[in-house]
Structure 1
């Protein structure tokens, strides 16, 4: 197994950290898009699971995240549409680097929302999409006043820290929470106003366009996820016009299903779903 590390310069001049794990003879490829505040190095179990199938896994640290951040990670990006441009460019590079095999896209949390928005906006040629705890719908009971004020706050004070995420909500396993909090590449402070507003814009776009989603899709979400709303996953599954669509809800599951009590069940599900689509 070859592990590669490199960088990619975006259309607006940012340098993003990229890494990939390549089997000797890839049977498929997959681009992985991580979640808010975290980074691409937190998916060892998934990478190993996919590599065993012969899937080449490519991933990157997004804008303001991990090793792509200038200085320390701050989870800041000015436009979710810039993020979609990054995904589009990198997915095309993945397909050209490993040609003539099925290609997949995986997104977790914010990354799941970005992947869903990417599919809806760019209509990529992909063999399938996996969405884990995707950010598609705001939390139930979100204040209308907060939503109304988000736009002007994000314009006037784009880097103002406005939204705190509870790390204890990522997993029911205390050791996983500790690993998350102790990781210097994970951003654990409050999210900047602009980032929060752009994610709100992204979710509204997905909700308005969900009936145009046509790619094969596996959607997984924990029913006790307090960081992204499981109702968003249900909405996309119900509205998508895909003939091949699966929604799996994990009863009592927290936000990071791959690092939670049902991690083996989640990994086995992903393994089997991909396997049937590359053989």
Structure 2
């Protein structure tokens, strides 16, 4: 797999870091915009990228603003609309470098929320979207305080820490939690009020617009996800306007299905779906 590390100027002038992963020795058959989740960075998707580039896909994977190696106050999200503008700019770059190739979006957790919004806004430029644990509905592990008070606190105390993310809820593989907790590019503080409110605001925007999605759709969700309710994946699947849509809720799996034990089977499922839509 070939790896390039680059930056571009995002919304409001912030520098956005991204990786371009590509197959070795051949041009990509299609391109993927890969969107990571809250408090992490795109580098955590290296294993998935190696699998998908091995199947011939080129991948553009940004560190979202305020995450990883991109600029912005760590994990403080002023507006998810700025993130969506950053993603639109990266889509321009990707499609400019690969004219004529189909483009897919893969998004996990908060990245799944962004991917849902992005599909609503730009589906005429996309061949399909894959959602993993899409963050449209809070899970059982998210406190009522975070859900109901954050909107008020976002205005009066935007940096107020509300709730910590328990890394044990990510995967049944204990090494995933250890790596997550020790990765300096991850954010290990509590979710700030402004960030929580912004995610809730954008989910409220996206949910009633899901029927507007008419491109091919693959929804993946862990059946034991405590961070995002599996009903989020079910809701998108049931309400999307696409005639080509698939839902997999994996019994017993936690939030990060791409990092679960047996993840290679899920990688293959995604790659086979992409192949069928190229």
TM more than 0.5: yes
Instruction: Confirm or deny that 1:66 pairs with 2:62.
Output: no
In the alignment, does 2:61 pair up with 1:46?
no
Q: CA deviation at 1:193?
A: 0.9
Q: Given that residues 7 and 18 in structure 2 are in contact (C-alpha distance below 8 angstroms), is that contact kept between their aligned partners in structure 1?
A: yes
Q: Distance in 2 between matches of 1:143 and 1:179?
A: 25
The correspondence of residues 59-98 of structure 1 with structure 2, limited to 5 A, is: 59-69=61-71, 74-98=74-98
State the shift of 1:124 in Å: 4.1
Task: Tell me the SS of whatever aligns to 2:180.
Answer: helix
Residue in structure 1 matched with residue 36 of structure 2 by the alignment: 34
Residue number in structure 2 paired with 1:250: 250
Distance 1:191 1:153 in 2: 12
- Kept in 2: contact 1:138–1:203 (CA 8 A): no
1:56 partnered with 2:35 = no
User: Cα RMSD over matched residues?
Assistant: 1.7
Structure 1 residue ranges without an equivalent (≥5): none
CA distance in 1, matches of 2:118, 2:85: 8
Structure 1 contact 103–128 (Cα < 8 Å) conserved? yes
1:143 Cα deviation after fit: 6.8
Tell me, yes or no, if the aligned pair for 2:107 and 2:132 is still in contact at 8 Å: yes
Give the secondary structure class of the aligned counterpart of 1:12: helix
1:240 partnered with 2:240: yes
Structure 2: how far apart are the matches of 1:218 and 1:86? Answer: 23
| TM-score (normalizing by structure 1) | 0.94
| Correspondences of 1:65-214 after superposition (within 5 Å) | 65-69=67-71, 74-139=74-139, 147-214=147-214
How far the C-alpha of 1:178 sits from its partner, in A, is 0.6
Partners of 2:135 and 2:190 lie apart in 1 by 17
Residues 75 and 146 from structure 1, CA distance in 2 versus in 1: closer, same or farther, beyond 3 angstroms?
A: closer
Shift of 1:153: 0.7
Indicate conservation of the 8 Å contact 1:110/1:135, yes or no: yes
State the Cα distance separating 1:74 from its structure 2 match.
Answer: 2.3
Give the Cα–Cα distance (whole angstroms) in 2 for the partners of residues 13 and 224 of structure 1. Answer: 40
User: 1:36 aligns to what SS in structure 2?
Assistant: coil
Asked whether the equivalents of residues 141 and 226 of structure 2 are also in contact (C-alpha less than 8 Å), the reply is: no
What SS does the aligned partner of 1:221 have? Answer: strand
Distance 1:277 1:18 in 2: 25
- Asked whether the equivalents of residues 63 and 76 of structure 1 are also in contact (C-alpha less than 8 Å), the reply is no
Number of corresponding residues: 276
- 1:90-135 Cα shifts (integer Å, max 9, x gaps): 1121111111111111100100011101211344411111111110
Are 2:22 and 1:22 equivalent residues in the alignment?
Answer: yes
Structure-2 change in CA distance of 1:276 and 1:182 (3 Å): same
2:60 partner SS = strand
Which runs of no fewer than 5 residues in structure 2 stay unpaired?
none
Q: Deviations over 1:212-246 (max 9, x none)?
A: 11110111000000111110110010000101101
Q: Please state whether the residue corresponding to 1:45 is helix, strand or coil.
A: helix
Provide TM-score, normalisation by structure 2: 0.94
The alignment partner of 1:68 has SS state of coil
